[in-house]
């Protein structure tokens, strides 16, 4: 009898201890539900999304196909939904599909994404996994027949006259070049010169000229123009080009050439095309080209082989300068800002970017100034939109874009590109980049330049 009593007491004690210990490991215990260790919900999900078309560019008549591969390191089975949603660049939903999705513990699974053919343009693809212990969205962008994208034209009737008058007025301003050798910045391989000159409104702007020490008698020139508020510094990477990097007013060592009065750079005199900051900026770039040509004899520069290059705002400036001045012989432009401006502005309103981009800032100016409407903004910007300069570009062009770019939407860049008059043009598409291109693009760009400028 005592033995039986001891066994009962011991069993009760063990049960009580086990219950106490188990309660420390599990957040909650539900009747009739298998109890899982918290560690079972620790893990990762690896999702690989691949388009069936090169660079995620599809034909107009093709079904848009992707393969989504999922690998789980979770110790529990995951169940839930797999959803993919397609929207236009401005956020309008055009297709959605949801299906059940299961993946075993430490398992893998592949899913085919199939989207009916779409009209020419670029589309955002959101792939969503909503599972037992995991939720995530992978975002991609694909293009459909981008060479067929056509934007409505808003070129002002006096556009050509406005810019011809501007160039004539700039020509009446003496550049008064001041060129200073900089021994401190120069190296055994590169000589560096600080260049100063008078530009639009008699403002002093500056730039950096880099000349390789081991060089042919006549050097081709790479003329580089700046991004939005990007300071240009001397180039030390070219051994078979002279490189001139200009700082337009407000940038780098030309910062003192303009007074912002505390306002955003691209707001300056936005109400009037005659005094708008970008009129001065575009003309600063033309003045920099004057310097290259006027200094050709002194530095042995080959003015029959001048290329222009820029990214973002610089990409816009490269197109504009090539349109306004025939001394440019080749253009390389990356993610060109402000292209197809009216449409870029609309996209930024309907599908806002993650940050305060230059186009978003201009929209914000309109929102905070009730007397200044979007139509007034567009009427000014029609004189500065690269898309209105593109038909005047008659030299070879290489353009690089990133499909995930919400600062310069790829559809806007392609709309501008399609207006370029020269048939010798090429576009490099980086499917998984945002406001940039793949590093290998710059190797391709270098080869492209050598080919088009007939380097040995």
Answer yes or no: do 297 and 235 share one domain.
yes
- Residue 174: C-alpha distances to residues 125, 193, 194, 246, 288 (Å): 53, 20, 18, 18, 13
Final residue before a domain boundary, out of 96, 116, 148? 148
Answer yes or no: do 195 and 242 share one domain.
yes
Q: Is 50 inside a domain boundary?
A: yes
The helix/strand/coil state of 32 is coil
Q: Is 10 inside a domain boundary?
A: no
Answer yes or no: do 121 and 181 share one domain.
no
Structure confidence at residue 37 (pLDDT): 52
Final residue before a domain boundary, out of 148, 179, 206? 148
Q: Is 223 inside a domain boundary?
A: yes
Answer yes or no: do 139 and 212 share one domain.
no
Assign residue 106 a region (left: φ > 0; alpha: ψ between -120 and 50; beta: otherwise).
left
Tokens representing residue 392 in the block: 């005047």
Q: Is 103 inside a domain boundary?
A: yes
Answer yes or no: do 377 and 278 share one domain.
yes
Answer yes or no: do 143 and 186 share one domain.
no
Answer yes or no: do 316 and 262 share one domain.
yes
- Residue 428: C-alpha distances to residues 259, 296, 321, 403, 444 (Å): 38, 32, 21, 11, 9
Name the DSSP class of 315. H
CATH of the domain at 333: 3.40.50.1820
- pTM for the full predicted model: 0.89
Regions of the chain with pLDDT less than 50: 1-36
Tokens representing residue 276 in the block: 């708008």
Q: With contact defined as beta carbons under 8 Å apart, do 360 and 428 qualify? A: no
Residue 105 belongs to domain spanning: 40-148
Residues 6+ apart with CB under 8 A from 216: 240
- Residue 267: C-alpha distances to residues 281, 373, 439 (Å): 13, 14, 33
The number of domains in the chain is 2
Q: Is 358 inside a domain boundary?
A: yes
Answer yes or no: do 163 and 143 share one domain.
no
Structure confidence at residue 42 (pLDDT): 83
CA dist., res. 122 & res. 141, Å (int): 7
Question: What angle is formed at CA 240 by the lines to CA 311 and CA 211, rounded to 5 degrees?
Answer: 85
CA dist., res. 376 & res. 177, Å (int): 38
Final residue before a domain boundary, out of 95, 119, 148? 148
Answer yes or no: do 249 and 228 share one domain.
yes
Q: Is 2 inside a domain boundary?
A: no
CATH of the domain at 53: 2.60.40.10
Structure confidence at residue 260 (pLDDT): 82
Answer yes or no: do 138 and 175 share one domain.
no
Q: Is 33 inside a domain boundary?
A: no
Answer yes or no: do 179 and 245 share one domain.
yes
Q: Is 30 inside a domain boundary?
A: no
Answer yes or no: do 77 and 218 share one domain.
no
């Amino acid at each position: 009898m005592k033995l039986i009593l001891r066994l009962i007491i011991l069993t009760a004690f063990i049960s009580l201890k086990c219950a106490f210990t188990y309660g420390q490991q599990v957040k909650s215990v539900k009747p009739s539900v298998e109890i899982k260790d918290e560690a079972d919900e620790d893990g990762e999900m690896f999702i690989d999304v691949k388009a069936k078309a090169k660079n995620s560019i599809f034909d107009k008549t093709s079904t848009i196909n992707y393969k989504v591969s999922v690998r789980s390191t979770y110790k529990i089975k995951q169940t839930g939904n797999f959803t993919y949603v397609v929207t236009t660049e401005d956020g309008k939903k055009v297709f959605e599909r949801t299906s059940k999705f299961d993946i075993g513990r430490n398992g893998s699974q592949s899913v085919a994404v199939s989207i009916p053919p779409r009209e020419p343009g670029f589309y955002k693809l959101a792939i969503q996994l909503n599972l037992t212990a995991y939720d995530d969205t992978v975002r991609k962008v694909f293009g459909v027949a981008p060479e067929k994208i056509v934007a409505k034209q808003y070129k002002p009737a006096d556009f050509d006259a406005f810019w011809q008058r501007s160039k004539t007025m700039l020509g009446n301003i003496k550049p008064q070049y001041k060129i200073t050798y900089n021994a401190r910045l120069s190296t055994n391989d590169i000589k560096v010169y600080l260049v100063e000159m008078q530009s639009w409104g008699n403002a002093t702007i500056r730039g950096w000229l880099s000349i390789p020490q081991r060089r042919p008698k006549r050097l081709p020139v790479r003329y580089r123009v700046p991004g939005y508020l990007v300071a240009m510094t001397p180039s030390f990477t070219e051994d078979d080009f002279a490189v001139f990097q200009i700082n337009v007013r407000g940038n780098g060592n030309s910062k003192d050439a303009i007074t912002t009065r505390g306002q955003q750079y691209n707001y300056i005199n936005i109400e009037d095309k005659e005094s708008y900051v970008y009129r001065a900026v575009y003309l600063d770039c033309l003045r920099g080209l004057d310097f290259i040509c006027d200094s050709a004899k002194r530095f042995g520069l080959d003015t029959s082989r001048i290329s222009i290059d820029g990214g973002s705002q610089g990409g816009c400036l490269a197109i504009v300068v090539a349109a306004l001045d025939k001394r440019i012989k080749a253009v390389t432009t990356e993610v060109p800002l402000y292209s197809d401006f009216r449409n870029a502005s609309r996209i930024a309103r309907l599908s806002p970017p993650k940050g305060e981009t230059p186009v978003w800032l201009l929209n914000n100016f309109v929102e905070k100034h009730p007397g200044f409407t979007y139509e007034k903004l567009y009427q000014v910007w029609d004189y500065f939109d690269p898309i209105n300069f593109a038909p005047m570009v008659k030299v070879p062009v290489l353009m690089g874009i990133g499909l995930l770019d919400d600062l310069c939407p790829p559809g806007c860049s392609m709309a501008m590109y399609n207006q370029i008059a020269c048939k010798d043009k090429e576009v490099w598409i980086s499917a998984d980049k945002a406001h940039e291109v793949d590093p290998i693009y710059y190797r391709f760009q270098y080869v492209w330049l050598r080919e088009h400028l007939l380097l040995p």
